[in-house]
Amino acid sequence: MNNAIIDDLNWRYATKKYDSEKKISSEDFETICESLRLVPSSYGLQPVKYIVVNDKSMREKLLPLAYNQPQITDASHLIVICSYRNISPKIVAEHLTLMSEVRSIALEDLSKFGENMNASFAKLSAEELCEWTAKQAYISLGHIMHTCANLRIDATPMEGFDKAAFDEALNLTSNNLQSVLLLALGYRSPEDKLSSLPKVRKPLSEIIEIVK
Ligand SMILES: Cc1cc2nc3c(=O)[nH]c(=O)nc-3n(C[C@H](O)[C@H](O)[C@H](O)COP(=O)(O)O)c2cc1C
């Protein structure tokens, strides 16, 4: 077993109370941003955007929209993980152009890939498409939580907020975005009793089945 990985995962917990005086350094935040850029996604499309809310008054406005969970205002950083509402052929074309440039592939050699993508998105209703892109946002969440644990930065994944109200407060809908998850980041307060509680997890035998 790789103990460094397991140590990271045991160290982290969903922090309830942050030390509002402690801020993430710009160097660590750069690592977090680059880690977010490296999150994998279906087709490599990255139909996500991370809104980092640094503005204090905006965080105070968002607080009651997230059931007054104190992490919203006390954490060093608050990230609203958003995903696209719609994936237009233009978005697909931009992805193909990027891929063609980065990997030096002729655009015409990617046309079938693009057609397949457009055809699969065309089959989905607006609601199904939003659900599909939201799944991509959850991949970001798992990925970034481990990055933060490795940096010994606390993180709280949060679904407990009014998504429609966040979309309105941050003007997301008109930018083809929907809020999916919140991620508070920072440093645990010594008063957070949750930090010393043992992890509640099922035994391996209940969650892993090996088909021989
Ligand atoms: C998708 C997701 C949404 C969550 N939403 C909240 C939330 O809104 N507020 C909160 O305090 N914790 C939230 N949690 C934290 C979980 O309660 C916590 O991860 C779980 O109890 C396991 O504990 P641990 O993360 O401390 O190991 C959420 C976790 C996940 C993965």
pLDDT tens-digit map of 193-206: 999 999 999 999 99
Looking at the domain assignment, is residue 204 inside a domain? no
Looking at the domain assignment, is residue 177 inside a domain? yes
- Which residue's C-alpha comes closest to atom 27 of ligand 1? 13
> Contact at 8 Å (CB) between 11 and 191?
no
Looking at the domain assignment, is residue 45 inside a domain? yes
Cβ 14 under 6 angstroms from ligand 1: yes
Cβ 159 under 6 angstroms from ligand 1: yes
Distance from the CA of 156 to the center of ligand 1, in angstroms?
A: 7
Give pLDDT tens digits for 128-137. 999 999 999 9
Mutation choice for ligand 1 from 158, 188, 197, CB with most ligand atoms inside 8 A: 158
Domain carrying residue 160? 15-189
State the pLDDT at residue 122.
Answer: 97
Looking at the domain assignment, is residue 199 inside a domain? no
Looking at the domain assignment, is residue 6 inside a domain? no
Looking at the domain assignment, is residue 60 inside a domain? yes
Looking at the domain assignment, is residue 161 inside a domain? yes
Looking at the domain assignment, is residue 203 inside a domain? no
Question: Closest by alpha carbon to 156, among 79, 83, 56?
Answer: 79
CATH number of domain containing 88: 3.40.109.10
